[in-house]
Amino acid sequence: MTQVRRVVVDTDTGIDDAHTLLYLAGRPDAEIVAITSVFGNCVEEDSTRNIGYVRDLLGLDAPISRGAAAPLAGAPRIAGHVHGKDGLGDLGHDRPMPEVAAENAAETLVRLAAENPGELDLLALGPLTNLAAALRIDPELFTRYRSVVLMGGSGPYAPPGTLLMVDANIDNDPLAAAAVFAAPRNELVMVGVNVTGTTILDERAIGALRASGTPVARFATEILDAYLDFYQNEWGRRIIPLHDPLAAGVLLDPSFATAWQDGPVNVRGDGFLSRARLMRTHDGLPPAFPYEPAPDTRVITAVDAPRFVADFVEVLTR
């Protein structure tokens, strides 16, 4: 019998976040327990509206809590050029503000963990501001979740000459990310751009979604255009990486990950942007500079991208 993972989702609800909620809701081994909003792909208010819209489309009753509208320090940077100003491609969806909990996102994350110790998984899909705020309330918070899986980070240091996609979720609040990677935990899994950038929803897969008559697949493809407009400048093709959905896939089925390393992760800036890195070079050596000790994080370094993409399409067109 398949064990059902009870998942709390923290999300800056843009296009791939919406796809992730669709994917989780379609998997028989997942139950969405609660959803918390954060800024990032869109402003926090739109993130909350988008959560409500997708939740109602799916017929879910998961409660919603509003979270951080800005990072711990500085002003928010919003990715409207990627996801559309409203986060869902600016298609004019009617997105009324849903009923939300009286407590904020950080309080919700702490309460749920205290009420269900060792039973819930926390899936973080945006900047880690809510998680850092929750750690200020309960520094042992991550020891009360069965696992914490986050979409963010850049893996170990890449081979010389290799370029990576921007590590946006970390760069949007590096102080929060540093607090997360330093916190004690049961299991913290980093699904970074080093692997999500290889998990491509290509023309054939997008065509399969478009050809499906299900409301879920129809919505999934409706909101794709803004995302495709952005990523066509990366590869010259109208294809997209499945950033956030891959993190959900690894949470539910760890066998999607085919290689990983366990070790300390630090958040480091280069004067342009910040990344979360496993403190190892591509060949497993420590970096050539001092770094902060931290508890081990499981850093995914390779995935079975074709199998995950096939599963994603099958779930959304079921």
- CA 108, 109, 112 angle in degrees (round to 5)? 80
pLDDT tens column, 256-283: 999 999 999 999 999 999 999 999 999 9
Instruction: Output the pLDDT for position 163.
Output: 86
Q: How far apart are CA 123 and CA 209, in angstroms?
A: 25
Residue 2 has pLDDT above 90, yes or no: no
Residue 222 has pLDDT above 80, yes or no: yes
pLDDT tens column, 98-130: 999 999 999 999 999 999 999 999 999 999 999
Residues of the chain with pLDDT > 70: what percent? 99
Q: What does the mean pLDDT of the chain come to?
A: 97
Q: Please report which residue ranges of the chain form alpha helices under DSSP H.
A: 15-26, 44-58, 80-83, 105-115, 129-137, 168-171, 174-182, 193-196, 203-211, 215-222, 224-235, 243-252, 305-316
Number of domains in the chain: 1
pLDDT tens column, 123-167: 999 999 999 999 999 999 999 999 999 999 999 999 999 989 999
Residue 213 has pLDDT above 90, yes or no: no
pLDDT tens column, 54-71: 999 999 999 999 999 999
Is pTM beyond 0.95? Reply is: yes
Kindly report the CATH number assigned to the domain that includes residue 185.
Answer: 3.90.245.10
For residue 189, what are the domain limits? 5-316
Instruction: Output the pLDDT for position 1.
Output: 52
Instruction: Output the pLDDT for position 121.
Output: 98
Whole-angstrom CA distances from 259 to 38, 49, 80, 246 are 30, 37, 33, 14
Q: How confident is the model at residue 34 (pLDDT cuts 50, 70, 90)?
A: very high
| Burial grade of 160 (CB within 10 A; 0-12, 13-18, 19 or more) | exposed
C-beta neighbour count of 11 within 10 angstroms: 29
Instruction: Output the pLDDT for position 117.
Output: 98
Instruction: Output the pLDDT for position 96.
Output: 97
pLDDT tens column, 279-307: 999 999 999 999 999 999 999 999 999 99
Whole-angstrom CA distances from 275 to 61, 163, 185, 248, 272 are 35, 13, 21, 21, 10
